[in-house]
Amino acid sequence: MSGHWGILVSDPWLQNQFTQVELRSLKSQFVSMRRESGRLAVGDLASKMSRLKVVGENLSEEERASYIQDLYQNISEEVDFELFLKIYLKLQSFASSRTGSNAKNSSAFLKAATTTLLHTISESEKASYVAHINNYLAGDEFLKKCLPIDSSTNDLFEIAKDGVLLCKLINVAVPRTIDERAINTKRLLNPWERNENHTLCLNSAKAIGCTVVNIGTQDLIEGRRHLVLGLISQIIKIQLLADLNLKKTPQLVELVSDSEGMEELMSLAPEKILLRWMNFHLKKSGYKRIVTNFSSDVRDAEAYAHLLNVLAPEYTNPSTLAVKNPYERAKLVLEHADKMGCERYITARDIVEGSPNLNLAFVAHIFQHRNGLSTQAKQSSLLENLLDDTQDSREERAFRLWINSLGNSTYINNVFEDVRNGWVLLETLDKVSPGIVNWKIANKPPIKLPFKKVENCNQVVKIGKQLKFSLVNIAGNDIVQGYKKLILAYLWQLMRYNILQLLKNLRFHSHGKEITDADILRWANGRVSSSGSQSRMDSFKDKSVSDGIFFLELLSSVQPRAVNWGLVTKGITDQEKMMNATYIISIARKLGCSIFLLPEDITEVNQKMILTLTASIMYWFLKHPLEERTVGSSDSESGSQLETTSNSTLDEDSASDSSAEENGSM
C-alpha cells in the first residue's frame, strides 16, 4: 500500500492482501454496515456479509455463522475495519475451498477465487508451491541466499519481485527455455533490469504454454499475490504433467481402448490423461466408481487407497480401507505414498477438503514416480505414427502456443485434433482480424453433427481466401478430417498475416502500405548495416545465419545494451551455434518479443520461424521510440516498461485492436 490508503490499515500483512480499489470498496461496505445499526459486532457479520461477492454467493448465512462462531467465541466483540478484513479473508478462503470441491472443471489447475472486489489465495496451495520451489531450486547458486522460503510468510512474493526466481522455475519446468545468461542477476537491480527479467519471464511462460493474458510486468514487480501464485501454479503444472503424452511415455498406449483410436488419446489434455490412467488402475483394483475430477471424487481418499495398493502392494496397510474417517484414511494414504518415495506437498486436510490443484499435483507426482504401465508397450502401427516429421511437430508446437497466447475461450492441447471443429480457428481469425467472422452462422462446441463442423471450417476457408491465403484445392472438410499438412499451411499463413498486419498498423513507419517479406528482410539488413557490421541475410532460408551472429547484431542494433558480447560464441561448432540460438531467443523475449520458435529453428534455418523472429524484432523496434529504447542504457533508475507504446510512434488513426496488438506474437 502507498499514499493515504495506508492510513486505513496499519497491519502490513493486511495491506499486502488488497489493492487500493479493493480496500476502498471494502471500507465503504464496512462503513455502510456499521451505520445501519450504529454498532457492528462479530455476530452481525454472518447476515451483513451476504451482500459481498463469493462469501455471500457461496455460503449460506448458517454456514457463515457457524464458521465465524468456530473462529471467535466472543461474538459480541465490536468489529473494527482490520478485524472485518481478517474475517472476510477467512470466510472467502472457506468459500473458495467449498466451491472448488464442486466446480464443474475442478481438474483445472489453480482456478483462484477472484472477484471484482477481492482476490484471495489458498494458503495450502502457497505452502505446497513453496515446498516445491524449495526442493527443486535448493541447489541454485544465486537463490541460495533466500532459500528455503518460509511458507508461513509472504516472503515468496517479495523474492519473486526481481524476476529471477520465476525465470529459474520456468527452466525447472521446461529445461533450457531461458538462457540464464540473459537473466539480470545482480544483487541490486534497478527498475529497468527488474522489468527486463519480468518481460523475459512472461514471454517465456507463454512459450511453454502458460496463459498470461491478464498478467503484466507491473503485477509481478508489485508482487500481486494472486497473480504471482497463479503464474507459479501454471509453471509447476506444466512440469508435473510434462510426461503425460505418448512421446514422453509411450507406455500410455495401454490406455487406448479397443473402441477408440490413438488420436483420441493424443487429443486429451494432460489432466484428462492422468484421470484415465488413474481409472485404468482403479478398475484393476476392483474399485467400482469412476473418478472424474481431482476434488469431490477423491475427498474420501478411497480411490487413492486402491490406486496405491495396485501400484505399490508391498506397502499396503489393511487399515487404510477399514477406517471410517476420511481424514484418518487420507493420513494413511500419505504414509503409503511416503514409503513409495513419492515427493508430495499435500496434507490430509487438503485431500478431504477436495483441493483440486493439490490433488492433481499429488496424482501427477505418483505417476512420475511409478506409473505401473507395462515397460513393453503394445506393438501398434499407430504408435509408430508418433515418430512424425520433426519439422511438423515443431511447427505444431509453435502454432499451438501462439493460438493459446491470444486468450481464446478454448485452450488447445493438440492443433491437429483441436481445430477440426473449426471453432478455435474462427476465434483465432476474430482475434487477428476483429469482425471478420460471421458468428451468426458459426456453431459453438460441443458439436455432435459432422456437417456443423464442416460449416465452421467452410467459413474458415472462405475467410482465408478473403485474406488472400493460398488455399488451392482446400475445402472445409479437409480441416475436419485433420489433414496435417493443410492445417499447418493454413496456420502459417494466419500467423504470418497477423504479424504483417501489426507492422502495417504502425502507419507512422509503413504509411498504411502493405508490408511484405521483402520489406522485413530489407529492414533487418539495413539495421545491421547501420551498426557498422558486414553481416547480411540474403533470404529467410540463408544458411549463413545458422551461427546466430546476424541476429545478435540485429538485436544489438535495436537495443545497444541487449547483447553481452562477452557471452557470444563464434558459432562454428554445432554446440556454439546452439548456445547462440538460445541466447538470441532469450534476449528477444527479454526485450518484449513474444516468440515461439525453438533454438533448432535458428540453427537449422527454418524459413518460417526465421521470418517470424525477424518480424517480431522489427515490430518491437518500430513500436518503441528512441527514448524508450535508450532508457536504462547506463543503469538508469528511471526505467520504463518495454511494452508501453508511445502515441508519438503512431498516427492518431492507426491504433489497431488492442488485444490483437498485444498478442501479436510469433
DSSP string across 187-254: SS--HHHHHHHHHHHHHHHHHTT---TT--HHHHHTT-HHHHHHHHHHHHHHHHTTT-STTT-GGGGG
Residue spans of beta strands (DSSP E) within 404-530:
none
666 with 499: CB under 8 angstroms? yes
Provide the grid cell at 324: 471410517
Question: From CA 666, how far away is CA 572, in angstroms rounded?
Answer: 27
What pLDDT does 642 receive? Answer: 31
Q: Give the DSSP per-residue string, 295-321.
A: SGGGTTSHHHHHHHHHH-GGG--THHH
What would the pLDDT profile of 134-189 be if each residue is shown by its tens digit? 999 999 999 998 999 999 999 999 999 999 999 999 999 999 999 999 999 988 88
Residue, of 96 and 644, whose pLDDT is higher: 96
Provide the grid cell at 148: 528455503
Mean pLDDT in residue range 436-444: 94
What pLDDT does 660 receive? Answer: 40
What pLDDT does 53 receive? Answer: 65
Which of 236-245, 329-338, 380-389, 622-631 is predicted least confidently?
380-389
DSSP 606: -
Cα distances from 106 to residues 233, 358, 445, 643, in angstroms, run 15, 11, 20, 34
What pLDDT does 342 receive? Answer: 85
What pLDDT does 624 receive? Answer: 79
In our burial notation (b when 16+ CB lie closer than 10 A, e otherwise), range 409-432 reads eeebbbbbbbbbbbbbbbbbbbbb
What pLDDT does 508 receive? Answer: 57
Mean pLDDT in residue range 527-538: 94
What pLDDT does 512 receive? Answer: 61
DSSP 561: T
Give percent above pLDDT 90 in the chain. Answer: 56
* Chain mean position to CA 240: 13
Question: From CA 288, how far away is CA 303, in angstroms rounded?
Answer: 10
Angle at 559 between CA 554 and CA 560, to 5 degrees: 90
Which residues lie closer than 8 Å to 351 by C-beta, 6 or more apart?
298, 299, 301, 304, 326, 330, 333, 334, 359, 362
What pLDDT does 114 receive? Answer: 34
What pLDDT does 81 receive? Answer: 86
pLDDT band with cut points at 50, 70 and 90 for residue 15: low
Mean pLDDT in residue range 647-659: 31
Mean pLDDT in residue range 96-120: 42
How many residues in the chain? 666
HSE (CB half, 13 Å, CA atoms) of 135? 12
Nearest CA to 371 among 253, 252, 472?
A: 252
Mean pLDDT in residue range 550-577: 95
Sign of torsion over alpha carbons 165, 241, 304, 326: positive
What pLDDT does 28 receive? Answer: 79
What pLDDT does 88 receive? Answer: 85
pLDDT band with cut points at 50, 70 and 90 for residue 505: confident
- Give, for 4, the enclosing helix (H) or strand (E): none
245 with 266: CB under 8 angstroms? yes
What pLDDT does 344 receive? Answer: 73
pTM: 0.77
What pLDDT does 247 receive? Answer: 80
What would the pLDDT profile of 248-290 be if each residue is shown by its tens digit? 888 888 888 765 667 777 778 899 999 999 999 999 999 999 9
pLDDT band with cut points at 50, 70 and 90 for residue 571: very high
Radius of gyration of the chain (CA): 27
- Cis before residue 148, ω within 30 degrees of 0? yes
What pLDDT does 654 receive? Answer: 31
356 with 108: CB under 8 angstroms? yes
Question: From CA 467, how far away is CA 436, in angstroms rounded?
Answer: 10
DSSP 163: S
Cα distances from 466 to residues 313, 470, 496, 535, 660, in angstroms, run 62, 10, 15, 38, 19
Question: From CA 71, how far away is CA 61, in angstroms rounded?
Answer: 15
What pLDDT does 649 receive? Answer: 28
Average pLDDT of every residue of the chain? 83
Q: Give the DSSP per-residue string, 339-361.
A: HHT------HHHHHTT-HHHHHH
In our burial notation (b when 16+ CB lie closer than 10 A, e otherwise), range 279-297 reads bbbbeebebeeebebbbbb
Mean pLDDT in residue range 461-476: 94
Question: From CA 580, how far away is CA 244, in angstroms rounded?
Answer: 31
Mean pLDDT in residue range 303-312: 95
Sign of torsion over alpha carbons 59, 64, 67, 68: positive
Sign of torsion over alpha carbons 398, 399, 401, 405: positive
pLDDT band with cut points at 50, 70 and 90 for residue 634: very low
Sequence letter at residue 389: D
Question: From CA 88, how far away is CA 83, in angstroms rounded?
Answer: 8
403 with 598: CB under 8 angstroms? no
Residue 385 has pLDDT above 70, yes or no: no
What would the pLDDT profile of 348-358 be if each residue is shown by its tens digit? 999 999 899 99
Question: From CA 463, how far away is CA 457, in angstroms rounded?
Answer: 10
pLDDT band with cut points at 50, 70 and 90 for residue 98: low
Question: From CA 396, how far away is CA 392, in angstroms rounded?
Answer: 6
Nearest CA to 49 among 38, 60, 39, 82?
A: 60
What would the pLDDT profile of 293-305 be if each residue is shown by its tens digit? 999 999 999 999 9
Nearest CA to 457 among 427, 489, 422?
A: 422
pLDDT band with cut points at 50, 70 and 90 for residue 608: very high
Provide the grid cell at 181: 545468461
